[in-house]
Chain A
Amino acid sequence: MNFDTVFLNPERLWWWLLIPLLVVLYVLVTTRKKRTGMRYTNTAVLGAVIPKQSQWRRHLAVAMSLLSLVTIIAAWARPNGVERVPRERATVVLVIDVSQSMQATDVKPSRLAAAQQLSKEFATNLPAQYNLAVVSLSGSPAMKLPPTTDRAVAARAIDALKTEDSTAVGPALLTALAAIQMAPKGDNGEPAPGAVVLLSDGFNTANSSPTQAADTLAKANVPVYTIAYGTDNGSVDLDGVRYNVKPDRDLMQKIAQATKGTYSAAESAGQLDGVYKNLSSQVGYEEVKKETTAMWAGYGLAFAVVAALAAVSLGARWP
């Protein structure tokens, strides 16, 4: 745990050193021989007649007050929590692989059909104010849909995807970046934050620079959420020749890492559905640092109240 990121005033945490000191002091004082107390002479009979009183309330009071001190010092150091805040607006680019390998039927009914179905659902589940663009990933990537908030058009664009030859991941990513930049700017002139969802099922076969493109996106602060789609056993028959088509998981992971996105694998329609649901919550929210001093102070108060109750219950006489 890095204190500098979690606490705004981590130097105040040095006061925590006080706690072990107090504990040692308490132990010393309780084991001291000449403690303040009532001197009494007839203690032999007293000890035999009156049972030893359990000390848990006393220890509880001390432990609770120490805990309250710990939490209050933590609150004083102004701790930060991470809170997820829904984005006001964003541009999401769906990059869907339409290479020939998408014809493979290891995902029922076929890879492309399942992806189309679930992508449409993903599109409709996105917050309505988000722009959505669709880019097809093939040898010649094309923007099938410029950024729009109209989900019916998006659904039609996804439905219209046809398989094409070859796979060029790099140009597809650059096309996606272009789509993000096409999105209308906000009131303050800043472009909406963008995110790319890259669904691919095969190896890069054309234009061997997908990582360079990923770096470009990383510089533009656009995370790429990659999905390696399909199983290792997928195969497709083209012109009478059977090709084995398995997803390039390493490449997907690299792209996700380079752009601070996430990588997931989907080997079936159900898994892809799960991934999409996960992504829609990731894309839709952003993590914001927020001071959680009040929460810590509240814990401190609760501990202090318990300590006070324990101390009061030790009091000499109740009315």
Chain B
Amino acid sequence: MPNPLDFAPPTDPSLGAVASVLREPTTATLPLNKLAPEAALRRLELTIVRRMEGFLHGDHRGLLPGPGSETNDARVYVPGQDDVRKMDWAVTARTQTPHVRDTIADRELEVWALLDVTPSMNWGTEGVTKRDLGIAAIATIGFLTQQMGDRFGGLIMRPDKLNRIPARSGRMALYGLLRRMLTEPIVHDHAVGSLDLAAGIEAMARTQRRRGLRVVVSDFLSPGDTELDPAVEPDWERPLRRMSVRNQVLCVEVADRRELEFPDVGDILIRDPESDFQRYVNTSDDGARARFDAAAAAQRERIRVAIRRAGAGHIALRTDRDWVYDIARFVLAYRRTAAMLHQPPQGVSV
């Protein structure tokens, strides 16, 4: 006699993300301890090329003079104020007046991550949803920026409001932030709200004035945007470019394999979690699938071009790939390209 338990629905948690194809997920599909291998990431370091303006002593180059390791201009020695050990003897000899060598203060890094949790992020076909992949990317970047005094803050962009998690330093604070992101209530489908990605980036640039690293995690898909030409700016490009004037910006683009390669699942009703789109589509049509794949590739290319044009770093993650591996590869290549990539516009100090 067969065991009745054989017919019980599968309880494998890895199916959690695939169920998001049918209905909105109810919980996160990744546990906190699987987000990023903290120990392995200690050996990596994210290159920071922009100057910081923190108020603590840190490991990154600051903007203003102060006690630090990097030398700046020489200036006239002020008795009683300057340390005689900082005396620049070569300049003093040349000018016959005592000079000291100034240093630039070493400052801590302030990282702010913007997580897009709009309904289109609650989707994934390969084990994790895009939203949880985004949280994992934030975790990985967070562990890469855990040097002395560095602070990490988060913004959770819901359609109706922007939830702010204050920036704090330390591992435990980062874990708290990640837990908060994982337990953030799932946004229901067709939730009403005026916040889109452009408004979210704008809000982050406006509220976090201190220079630092900014991480934008989203799928960069605007509902109803059918434009494929890379020469046309997406609506979020302008705020992104404005933010990258003062900050070093990293864009983490999360995508699912099935957003790029359309599945063959027969004649099926397809509906959008955000817009009113509802349509029966014959997905068995090879020609239509090929057209869609080409259009999706063009769409991704447009996103890539727009992010590059805005002067931000671009990390493309996919739910069916290992995000730690992808981010590590990005960080290694970033060592060489970051200085060029994040060159500030004319008239802005480095």
Contact = CB atoms under 8 A, between A and B. Distances in A.
Interface of A: 33-53, 55, 58, 314-317
Contacts of A316: 265-268, 284
Interface in B94-135: 120, 123, 130
Contacts of A45: 226, 228, 292, 295-296, 299
Specify which of A41, A52, A315, A316 lies most central, judged by the most chain B CB atoms within 10 Å of its CB: A41
A52 B284 contact: no
B23 interface: yes
Interface stretch (B49-57, B156-164, B274-282): B274-282
6 contacts: A35-B271, A39-B272, A44-B226, A44-B275, A315-B266, A317-B266
B130 to A, nearest CB: 8
B209 to A, nearest CB: 33
Given A38-B22, A44-B223, A45-B292, 17 more contacts: A33-B276, A38-B21, A38-B269, A39-B22, A39-B189, A41-B221, A41-B256, A41-B274, A43-B275, A44-B222, A44-B225, A45-B228, A48-B226, A49-B292, A50-B281, A52-B279, A317-B264
A35 B278 contact: yes
A36 B189 CA distance: 13
10 tightest A-B CB contacts, nearest first: A316-B266, A37-B269, A48-B226, A43-B272, A41-B120, A43-B277, A49-B295, A37-B271, A50-B288, A42-B259
A50 B270 CA distance: 12
Interface in B217-245: 219, 221-226, 228
Contacts of A39: 20-24, 123, 189, 271-273
Contact of B281 (A36, A44, A46, A314): A46
B22 A53 contact: no
Contacts of B228: 45
Contacts of A50: 281, 285, 288, 291-292
Contacts of B226: 44-45, 47-48
A35 B276 CA distance: 11
A61 B287 CA distance: 27
Interface of A is mostly: loop
B288 A317 contact: no
B219 A40 contact: no
Contacts of B190: 33-34
Contacts of A40: 21, 123, 270-272
Given A41-B272, A41-B273, A314 B224 contact: no
A47 B262 CA distance: 13
Contacts of B123: 39-41
A39 B19 CA distance: 10
Nearest to A315: B266
Nearest to A313: B267
Nearest to B264: A317
A49 B288 contact: yes
Given A35-B271, A37-B270, A39-B123, A44 B265 contact: no
A314 B269 CA distance: 12
Contacts of B267: 53, 314-316
A42 B296 contact: yes
A27 to B, nearest CB: 15
B224 A44 contact: yes
Nearest to A41: B120
B292 to A, nearest CB: 5
Interface in B154-204: 189-190
A88 B275 CA distance: 76
Interface in B264-323: 264-282, 284-285, 288, 291-292, 295-296, 299
Contacts of A41: 120, 123, 130, 219, 221, 256, 259, 272-274
Contact of B221 (A35, A37, A38, A42): A42
Interface string B1-40: 0000000000000000000111110000000000000000
Given A41-B219, A316-B284, A48 B266 contact: no
A51 B299 CA distance: 18
